[in-house]
A and B are shown apart, each in its own frame.
Chain A
Amino acid sequence: MPQLTARNRHRVAFRLNGRQVEALAENRMLLSDLLRHELGATGTHVGCEHGVCGACTIQVDGAPARACLILAAQIDGADVRTVEALAPQPGRLSVLQAAFREKHGLQCGFCTPGILMTLDAFLTTRPDASEAEIREHLSGHLCRCTGYATIVAAALAAVEELRKEQKENA
């Protein structure tokens, strides 16, 4: 494969929230900026740009990851989900989102998209998650408003609700 030159913009193609998208990006463009500035997906927030705060957390091939630590060029061919993918339809919230609203899991909301993407990935694979495991996953996020207690409460309420749904469907 040829070397992609620094001065030009290059094509990246990937799946974003279930749809195939294409964009032109310089090599040095971060995925967080590609999402926000080129593709208009501004639900992904940007706090620190060095991996510490978690605001930019998205899902890449099902796993939570920092969008600010991924180069746009590295995402070619991947499956990316952002917070925009969570609501099942306009005007309706996912179980996790509804639990955040119910339990006051957000105040200013800056940290929320990242936290939702981490918890969504985790609860999808582990619907029986314990409080300790939820806290472990939240350790990769900073929230300056809530003190975390309401976030943990929201996550546990979502676990409960998901379990109920599972039983009803079984």
Chain B
Amino acid sequence: MKPPAFDFLRPDTQEEVLETLHRAGSDARIIAGGQSLVPMLNMRLARPGVLIDIMPLHALRAIREERGEVIVGAGVRQAEFEAWPQLAEKLPLLSQAIGWIGHVQTRARGTVCGSIAHADPSAELPLSLIALGGSVRLASRRRRRTVPAAEFFLGMMSTAIAEGEMIEAVAFPVAGRGTGHAFREIGRRHGDFAIVACAAVSDGQTTRLAVAGVDDHPRRFDLPQEDGGALDDALNDIAWSLNARDDLHASARYRRELVRRLGRETVMEARSCRS
């Protein structure tokens, strides 16, 4: 269980990163917190020719608010985001969700953007980004572009990041007045990847429900302001639309049941906690 050999770049500037990504193409790989990539290297599931460590780049290490969005740079660790004093006020959904990512010991290293780039189907941060309708800021040597979350996650660990591109930052819209947020997750043990996780945002008219852990990427649905049997029917349709599969951790049937039950609790909580 040791990584294969690779060249290693500790850049002084972001230009160096983009230049190397351009030159080496798919042979280059960014390393941020290393909490997903190093296990993959150790198990030889990844064999990059060159690893580019972006953590020395101080410009990427900022959290800032800009035109109604919280912009989290690629060098911001999950623990730093968790400790950001304005998190509960600006991003109540994230302040509920972030403690579910792995453990204290992995959040101390893992980055926010690294989790978005890794795009695990049950990961909490991609789910939250989808639920809030955030976006991902990409950069390559030639251009910069912003991709909405709904177009970013394409499948199991597959995203809209093109060859030569890196994530510079992700943007989460600041919670609006009068919106309610809720996050629920079921895993085998606390800190394990979710079997099913749900995030909901309610503005009084519609409730948006996002679900992770079932389909191969997090999915989002808009629910009308209905209750009782109508809500159950809507949740049942969602549960059946997610291509649930049996695996080592849970059966497809159990996952659908979790979508119905956890989904309902999450929706009701988001509606009831509107500020």
Q: Is the CB of B105 within 8 A of A140?
A: yes
Give the A-B contact count at a CB cut-off of 8 A: 111
B79 contact set on A, CB distance < 8 A: 63
User: How near does chain A come to B267, taking the closest CB pair, in angstroms?
Assistant: 27
Indicate the size class of the contact surface on chain A: 35 or more
Determine if A28 and B53 form an interchain contact, defined as CB atoms under 8 angstroms apart. Answer: no
Chain B, interface SS category: loop
Chain B 25-52 per-residue mask, 1 if CB under 8 angstroms from chain A, else 0: 0000001001100110111000000110
CB distance from A42 to the nearest CB of B (A): 18
Distance from A81 Cβ to chain B, minimum over Cβ atoms (Å): 13
* Chain B residues closer than 8 Å to A7, beta-carbon distance: 5
Is residue A118 contacting chain B, with contact meaning CB distance below 8 A? yes
- Give the nearest-CB partner of B56 in chain A: A1
Given known pairs A69-B34, A69-B38, the reply for A60 and B9 (CB within 8 Å) is no
Smallest beta-carbon distance B263→chain A, Å: 25
Residue interface mask B1-42, A partner, CB < 8 A = 1: 111111111111000100010000000000100110011011
Residue in chain A with minimal CB distance to B43? A50
Evaluate contact between B5 and A6: CB separation under 8 angstroms: yes
| Contact residues in B for A168 (Cβ distance below 8 Å) | none
Q: State how many angstroms separate the Cβ of A55 from the closest Cβ of chain B.
A: 11
| A66 touching B106, Cβ below 8 Å | yes
Chain A residue numbers with a CB within 8 Å of B39 are 49-51, 69
Q: Tell me the complex Cα distance, A33–B106, Å.
A: 19
User: Which of chain B's residues has its CB closest to A72's CB?
Assistant: B8
Whether the pair B53, A140 counts as a contact (CB closer than 8 A) is no
By a CB distance below 8 angstroms, the chain A residues around B270 are none
Question: Could you tell me the distance between the alpha carbons of A4 and B8 in the complex, rounded to whole angstroms?
Answer: 5
Bound-complex Cα distance A37 to B81 (A): 35
Closest to A77 in B: B56
Tell whether A5 pairs with B38 under 8 Å between CB atoms, given A66-B109, A139-B189, A140-B103: no
Q: How far in angstroms is the closest Cβ of chain B from A80?
A: 13
Q: Is the CB of B8 within 8 A of A27?
A: yes
A residues whose Cβ falls under 8 Å from a Cβ of B: 1, 3-7, 10, 26-28, 30, 33, 49-51, 54, 57, 60, 63-66, 68-71, 73-74, 76, 118, 122, 136-137, 139-140
Binding site for A on B (CB under 8 A): 1-12, 16, 20, 31, 34-35, 38-39, 41-43, 50-51, 53, 55, 79, 102-106, 108-109, 189-191
9 inter-chain pairs at a CB distance below 8 angstroms, sorted by A residue, are A1-B10, A1-B11, A1-B16, A3-B20, A28-B41, A54-B103, A60-B109, A70-B109, A118-B105
